[in-house]
Amino acid sequence: MTDTALTDALAWHPVARLPEEWRAWLKSQGEAPFRASQVFRWIHHQGELSPANMSNLALPLRERLASEGLTPPGTVVDVKRAQDGTRKLLIEFAEGARVECVVIPMTPKTAEDTDYLVDPELDAEDEELSTPKEAQTKVTLCISTQYGCAMGCVFCASGQFGLQRGLGAHEIVFQVLLARRYLEPGEVLSNLVFMGMGEPLHHYDQTARAVRLITHPEGIAMSSRRLTVSTVGLPGGIQKLGDDFAGKVGLAVSLHAPDDETRSRIIPMNQRYPVAKLLQALKAYPLPKRRRITIEYTLIAGINDSIEHAERLADLLSGLRVKVNLIPMNPIEASSLEAPSEAAVTRFRERLADRGYSCFVRTTRGDDVLAACGQLALQGDPGTLPSSVAVRLRRGKADGV
Ligand code: SAH
């Protein structure tokens, strides 16, 4: 597995630097190493990306930070707010890369939809937040790792769009820094899911760096247990994630079918990494006690939604600590596939529940603002994209797959 390529300039934006890297740079500039904490805190704790506003730094250092390229790497070009409080930010980065990031408040009304993301164990243990618990609304943030995606899943708008480019760690983190500004009074950022556009494990290095930045205690300081990486199921990437973060980062796997025949029809990657290989990787994931792997299963009418599929899924997952998240397919322009009837969804869920699985049906959040799965960023066709992107589109999709 190869990571999608990034140019040096994109990979080494100052926002992607960890404190130890700031220390080395500051030393090379003849500055005191303790400034590293100050710079890092300004960026990641305060969310201040303009050196001119870093008031406890001397003017010459602020100027050097500016000439080092420290500046916000993107801008919010659209915000849509759905009736259910979901906010979808459309962010534009260099080269016209547009990704979305979705702020999902977990109100009592919507708790059931987001239950699958929340681990009661965590809530019992945490957390010294300034707002009293009863006045808080927990917010889950869904972020993107690539502009487009190389995996080609037939039901997914990003998959059909193809990969344009991976995001640098600074661009991944910047989505969190920006989204924090869109929190409303009483809302606290509680969970972060890498479930937006792109395949995080096909872009491992930048994703892993983003995890390190987001969890750094001097920055955003989210606990890695509150992060969930969602993958199409690349075994090498799953193993690496497990090794690098000792299993602490939550894992969600887009399984969508219990057998190779069905899965290969909707997920081209399955031909390369069949179900048995994927299951092996899941079994080897160093899952902490009491944590479970989330199995995502997009239900598509007539493809993977029969009772036999539910039975086979139950057999396949036996012995694994999982919770199953059923997602009735959201229709996309590029495909005529559609969601099963409500009755079929219920039947599928009940069969899994009868077989002893925790099973949630994810109703679409924010669908009145097209918050579902890649749709906002992909409005408009490639003809309207900046020329650099159009060139790469013509060159073809994937780097390294
Ligand atoms: N590449 C990663 C993360 C991005 S997709 C992955 O495959 O998990 C996030 C989730 O949305 C995945 O489970 C994906 O299968 C699902 N998804 C994508 N398009 C969808 C659609 N049109 N309807 C329902 N779920 C969809």
CA dist list (Å): 239 to 177, 233, 251, 268, 287: 28, 11, 11, 21, 11
Q: Is 326 in the pocket of ligand 1 (CB under 6 A)?
A: no
Q: Is the CB of 231 inside a 6 Å radius of any atom of ligand 1?
A: yes
Contact 247/223 with Cβ under 8 angstroms?
Answer: no
Integer-rounded Cα Rg, in Å, for the chain is: 21
Q: Residue type at 163? A: L
156 is a catalytic site residue? no
373 torsion bin: left (phi>0), alpha (psi -120 to 50), beta (else): left
What is the token pair recorded at 166?
Answer: 């991976």
* Helical spans, DSSP H, in 220-267: 235-244, 260-266
Two tokens, residue 393: 């589109």
What single letter denotes the amino acid at residue 359?
C
What residue owns the CA closest to ligand 1's atom 4? 195
Distance, in Å, from the CA atom of 9 to the CA atom of 93, rounded to the nearest integer, reads 13
Rounded to the nearest angstrom, the distance between the alpha carbon of 67 and the centre of ligand 1 is: 39
- Does the annotation count 153 as an active-site position? no
CB 14 within 8 A of CB 51: no
Closest CA to 291 of 264, 252, 329, 338: 252
Task: Kindly name the residue from 100, 171, 187, 296 that is annotated as catalytic.
Answer: 100
Mutate to test the pocket of ligand 1, among 228, 296, 336 (most ligand atoms within 8 A of CB): 296
Check pocket membership of 304 for ligand 1, CB cut-off 6 A. Answer: no
Q: What is the pLDDT of residue 128?
A: 47
In whole angstroms, give the CA distance from residue 117 to residue 94: 31
Smallest CA separation from ligand 1 atom 15, residue: 254
Which atom of ligand 1 has the smallest separation from the CA of 331?
Answer: 22
Is the distance from the beta carbon of residue 373 to the nearest atom of ligand 1 less than 6 Å?
yes
pLDDT score of 172: 98
8 A C-beta contact, residue 249 and residue 272: no
Q: How far is CA 1 from CA 194, 235, 273, in A?
A: 19, 9, 11
DSSP state at residue 41:
I
The letter for the amino acid at 231 is: T
Say how many Å lie between the CA of residue 230 and the centre of ligand 1. 9
> String of b and e for 164-173 (b: at least 16 CB within 10 Å)?
bbbbbbbbbb
Residue nearest atom 2 in ligand 1 by C-alpha distance: 231
Tokens 């075994």 belong to which residue? 235
Is residue 219 within 8 A of residue 21, CB to CB? The reply is no
Query: Is the shortest distance between the CB of 298 and ligand 1 below 6 Å?
Result: yes
Q: Which pTM value belongs to this model?
A: 0.89
Which residue's CA is minimally distant from atom 1 of ligand 1? 199
Cα distance between the two ends of the chain: 7
User: Consecutive sets of 10 residues in the chain, 401 residues long: mean pLDDT of each?
Assistant: 54 90 94 96 98 97 97 96 92 95 81 52 52 81 96 95 96 98 96 97 98 98 97 98 98 98 98 98 96 97 98 98 96 92 97 97 64 54 32 29 25
8-state DSSP, 207? H
- Count the Cβ atoms, other than its own, within 10 Å of residue 45: 16
3-state secondary structure of 180: helix
Indicate which residue's Cα is closest to atom 14 of ligand 1: 254
Q: Which is the closest atom of ligand 1 to the Cα of 253?
A: 8
